[in-house]
Structure 1
Amino acid sequence: MATEACHLGWDFSTQKLKVIAVDEKLRVIHEDNVNFDKDLPEFSTQGGVCVHNDRLTVTSPVLMWVKALDLILEKMKSSGFNFSRVKALSGAGQQHGSIYWKQGASSALQNLSPDLPLHQSLQSCFSVSNSPVWMDSSTTAQCRSLEKAVGGAQRLADITGSRAYERFTGNQIAKIYSLSPEAYAQTERISLVSSFAASLFLGAYAPIDYSDGSGMNLLDIHNKAWNPACLDACAPGLGKKLGDPVPSCKVLGSVAPYYIQRFGFNPHCKVVAFTGDNPASLAAMRLAEGDLTISLGTSDTLFLWIKQPKPALEGHILCSPVDTEAYMALLCYKNGSLMREKIRDKIAFGSWEEFSKALASTPVGNEGNVGFYFDVMEIIPKAEGIHRFNKHNEKVTTFPKEVEIRALIEGQFMAKRIHAEKLGYKILPTTRILATGGASDNEAILQVLSDVFNAPVYTIDTANSACLGSAYRAIHGLVAETSVSLTDVVKLAPGPKLVATPKAGVAQIYQPLLKRYMDLEEQVLKSSK
């Protein structure tokens, strides 16, 4: 029925602006996107970004994002999309990117003319026209200086959930303050990509939410407020330019009159705080306490739901986007599917079928043989090369084909379990592992994952997960203040599919093996230095 209410979920990602609409039964009823390179060629981006000559500085033009919103709204309007049905909207942005609003920009935002596209009204509103994004790694000096200011890398992680990272926003702001003090002085508000996008819909500066704010090296993740020592280490008067952070499920207000007049939005349509793309994906997967998602892609990424975080020098802890009492942790590994494919090509004739057959034919625990496979320098641990150990912990140069395949897969998953537990993750009787990404359709690999974690593995369709999570969060935002959980709100959504359960007796095999793996990892790390 064309008059049924719906909710919009937006994703301002690196390469595209995407949107989906879901109806009251959580069915996707509309999808659209704008590809920055293809649809907005005048900005000359490649993959949505501009890599500068130093190869370290990576930015995106702010007006490109604004123009993309103009474009997608016009596309939706001409396709007959009925904006008056939208009850609420929320969204996600690529994490860490920062936008610098010039003095006077807030009045331009509040007085948008419905006769003009947004990019015309806002073209002179930014003191920095090219926003640093998550791919930027030009701020090593600022990272060292921030860690030093607060008492070291571990102390910074204890406060903010992560040691200093080049892409994190505080370090990017510090660089802009040091290289362009005039641009910084002219800035009245600094937004993340998520809060910038929410500001466009609100017609006023939207606050940064706790979850995306945790990716800045500035937010105290325990008391949910900016840390004064971190702010002072980055730039003067920074707290005022950031504004106070808010819970991720907060209703910020109604859409600006601009959208009502130009596109026919309902005047009561609410804007729920936008968050980062990773937190929004966590919402789409409907993780509960003790659950984890593992994305088995080019790189492997773990999302964990944690109650009592233990920040470490590796990985990131962020405030949860769906539960103000909980946290999410992120662990990234560079040697994901490319390493699996390399071994497959080398010893399984390039065939996943051969690879899986060999994997399934070997015993759980691989008779004590353990391997570390790092084609490129790994993030955790910071090591590279291939390192094989027999059951006596002696280094060996080769393994038989089947042993090599199991050593690779078991090793990758044991590492993930060990690092997750170091960050405070606990496997509970109710734990579910949600597997996504390319390797999530390989049953033999998922069986090993289930065995190593001693928990059932499910697969879930995550196409456009940041958009979907944003649409779910828009619905949740409307009722969050009545203590209704996201899980209650989205129980009608299609559930994940069970694909593997742990074999009997695996815990007894992996318990000692995990301990050995941890000790051997320490050895590999020392030999790589």
Structure 2
Amino acid sequence: MVTSPVLMWVQALDTILEKMKASGFDFSQVLALSGAGQQHGSVCWKTGASRALTSLSPDLPLHQQLQACFSVADSPVWMDSSSTAQCRQLEAAVGGAQALSGLTGSRAYERFTGNQIAKIYQQNPEAYSRTERISLVSSFAASLFLGSYAPIDYSDGSGMNLLQIQDKVWSQACLGACAPHLEEKLGPPVPSCSVVGAISSYYVQRYGFPPGCQVVAFTGDNPASLAGMRLEEGDIAVSLGTSDTLFLWLQEATPALEGHIFCNPVEPQQYMALLCFKNGSLMREKVRDESASGSWNEFSKALQSTEMGNSGHLGFYFDVMEITPEITGRYRFNAEDQEVCAFPGNVEIRALIEGQFMAKRIHAEGLGYRVMPKTKILATGGASHNRDILQVLADVFGAPVYVTDTANSACVGSAYRAFHGLAGGRELPFSEVVKLAPNPRLAATPAPGASQVYETLLLRYAKLEQRILSRTLRPPE
């Protein structure tokens, strides 16, 4: 069980606001605020907690006044994976993993909130019965600013295995499979760009916020990052870090057994998809050390010295069990799809990078992604500083790659979303709100002939991936 103390989060808010106050920050200039919380965490408010929220004294910090307000003191968070039994129960209740994905955008995942709530109900029914409201971390933080319970927004709500992403309502079948009276404990969900109320008088009196400061629905950290990176329809963001993450802007939802589809945080009628790959930068660093003497400069030279398509050589590099697809081991194939035990160093490096990006494109297309004429790719994370890696990304996806200096994209996205909500939310396109923000820099464009090269390779890569997945033998060392 992996948890965080709820009061730690409350005290963190106290601390940051006191530091801002001590630094002379002028709270009276804040017209609206929004925020982001780590996805999949939840907070259980004890019966009677709403009275404490609505009667906060400006003379005391929040954590002193809210100590007795939580029926579960330590909240399960996204790293927890102890609810496997509840996941299987939920999938069985709705007709299987694919049926659940079609309803909620994802098959059952241990960290998703519905399964965590089911575990609390089954293992600690007294605490559940003492709970009058369940918040996500995001709506919990919004509740602190509102001085009353804030609703869960559509986008973060889609990471619960409970929200019907097409209809934007709680699934009665999923609620019933998790715990009784759950709908009233969750409250109705709202569009992510909704103004949910004015700031609590506590903040007006203690810090000097204006009484008319509007609170825009908080959302999850991943949806807030999509807003911060200013993705638009057809765009893709690739975070190249310790693990690699893809964010996709989708017009239509095509839920699958892998990845996640959430409601879009800035356009309520559209969607975002998320795919995570464990074998990211650590895998790239391993191959750099093995095949390029530990030098990124030599690594880049290897990419420059080999041709697009790597003369038909394809590789799969999963030193730790991958999420998408569930494979472990290293596999190399020659141009005739025969497995070989090794590649020359420069071929190995290109096979790794091409393979990583082909896997991302194949699995993104499995969720409904299609390259459009106006598609752009926004690259962030450590490997986005390597122009030769970005060139392969542009070639494989057939779209220009841009980079941005924006750090803390979830924080920036929250500021954009606050402005969007204040400016009219659903009545105003998000792109209008952020049109004056700094533009990302063009880093790479597809080389001539790239689409023809990878059109064939992508089909081969997908077939070879299926061949590896179908094996029952233990993977090679």
* TMscore range, shorter length: over 0.9
| Aligned 1:53-92 pairs, distance under 5 A | 57-92=1-36
TM-score, L = length of structure 1: 0.89
Task: Select between 114-123 and 480-489 the one with higher mean Cα deviation.
Answer: 480-489
Aligned position for 1:120: 64
Distance 1:413 1:75 in 2: 43
The offset of 1:462, in angstroms, is: 3.1
Contact 2:267 2:426 in 1 (8 A): no
The offset of 1:487, in angstroms, is: 1.0
> Is it true that 1:480 corresponds to 2:415 in the alignment?
no
Contact 1:214 1:317 in 2 (8 A): yes
The counterpart of 1:185, out of the listed 129, 136, 140, is 129
The counterpart of 1:248, out of the listed 192, 197, 219, is 192
> Is it true that 1:229 corresponds to 2:173 in the alignment?
yes
Distance 1:105 1:145 in 2: 31
Contact 1:163 1:313 in 2 (8 A): yes
Aligned position for 1:318: 262
| Aligned 1:186-201 pairs, distance under 5 A | 186-201=130-145
> Is it true that 1:164 corresponds to 2:114 in the alignment?
no
Distance 2:192 2:7 in 1: 26
Distance 1:267 1:345 in 2: 58
Contact 1:157 1:311 in 2 (8 A): yes
Contact 2:237 2:247 in 1 (8 A): yes
The offset of 1:486, in angstroms, is: 1.3
> Is it true that 1:428 corresponds to 2:351 in the alignment?
no
| Deviation >6 Å, runs of 4+ | none
Distance 2:42 2:427 in 1: 32
The offset of 1:202, in angstroms, is: 0.1
Aligned position for 1:290: 234
Equivalent AA in structure 2 for residue 428 of structure 1: M
The offset of 1:528, in angstroms, is: 5.7
> Is it true that 1:385 corresponds to 2:320 in the alignment?
no
> Is it true that 1:141 corresponds to 2:90 in the alignment?
no
More strand by share: 1
User: Could you list the per-position Cα deviations for residues 6-43 of structure 1 after superposition, in whole angstroms to 9, with x for gaps in the alignment?
Assistant: xxxxxxxxxxxxxxxxxxxxxxxxxxxxxxxxxxxxxx
Distance 1:507 1:465 in 2: 31
Distance 2:311 2:225 in 1: 38
Contact 1:435 1:459 in 2 (8 A): yes
| Aligned 1:242-391 pairs, distance under 5 A | 242-391=186-335
Distance 1:413 1:100 in 2: 41
Equivalent AA in structure 2 for residue 179 of structure 1: Q
Equivalent AA in structure 2 for residue 235 of structure 1: A
Contact 1:309 1:425 in 2 (8 A): no
Equivalent AA in structure 2 for residue 296 of structure 1: L
User: Could you list the per-position Cα deviations for residues 107-155 of structure 1 after superposition, in whole angstroms to 9, with x for gaps in the alignment?
Assistant: 1100001111101111100000000000000000000110000000000
The offset of 1:495, in angstroms, is: 0.8
TM-score, L = length of structure 2: 0.98
Contact 1:83 1:266 in 2 (8 A): yes
Contact 1:387 1:395 in 2 (8 A): yes
Distance 2:148 2:472 in 1: 51
| Aligned 1:430-469 pairs, distance under 5 A | 430-469=374-413
Aligned position for 1:220: 164
User: Could you list the per-position Cα deviations for residues 370-419 of structure 1 after superposition, in whole angstroms to 9, with x for gaps in the alignment?
Assistant: 00000101011111110000010100001111111111000000000000
Distance 1:324 1:70 in 2: 32
State the SS of the aligned residue for 1:321. coil
Distance 1:317 1:455 in 2: 22
Contact 2:98 2:107 in 1 (8 A): yes
Distance 1:481 1:332 in 2: 29
State the SS of the aligned residue for 1:458. strand
The offset of 1:186, in angstroms, is: 0.4
Equivalent AA in structure 1 for residue 341 of structure 2: T
Q: Identity percentage over the alignment?
A: 70
Tell me the matched-pair count: 473
Distance 1:466 1:508 in 2: 37
In the alignment, structure 1 segments of 5+ residues that lack a partner are 1-56
The offset of 1:480, in angstroms, is: 2.8
